[in-house]
Amino acid sequence: MFFKFPAFSNTRALVAMPFDDKTTISDMTKRTKSGLLKIGIYQIIGGAIGILIILYAIIQSTNLAGLSILLYLFMSLFFGFSILCGTICLKGGEKALKFSLINQYMQIIGLHSLVLHLLMLRDYT
């Protein structure tokens, strides 16, 4: 299976080879390594901002019930995974693109859930 990233579409090495466990960082071009660096920084910053927002929400909350603590913990795990993926991208690990892709799929699902939630709130207010 071939993964094609728009930011790397001009890179022959990425388009011509499948991303599997045998893909090494030495197979990638300088442009791809630069893209990985940018994605890694983006994911680390996004994860850190998310965790800071959760900490702020916990501090501002006056009523922390078991379910809300569980929800905050669950959200923190997703943001922590984003930081992990960003770290893997910065190190240039062999599975950096796979982890990054999984993280981006999770972000799409989270964004979709947020939009649905806001639409439901709009209908009930």
Domain span at 47: 24-124
Query: Does some domain include residue 76?
Result: yes
Structural domain count, the chain: 1
The single-letter code of the amino acid at 93 is: G
Query: Tokens 């799929």 sit at which residue?
Result: 105
In a domain, 9, yes or no: no
Whether the CB-CB separation of 97 and 3 falls below 8 Å is answered with yes
Residue 4 domain-assigned (yes or no):
no
In degrees, rounded to 5, the angle at the alpha carbon of residue 83 between the alpha carbons of residues 36 and 93 is: 40
Query: Greatest CA separation found in the chain?
Result: 55
pTM of the predicted model as reported, rounded to 2 decimal places:
0.67
- pLDDT-derived band at 1 (thresholds 50, 70, 90) equals very low
What pLDDT score does 32 carry?
79
Res 8 pLDDT > 50: no
Cα distance between residue 114 and residue 117, in whole Å: 5
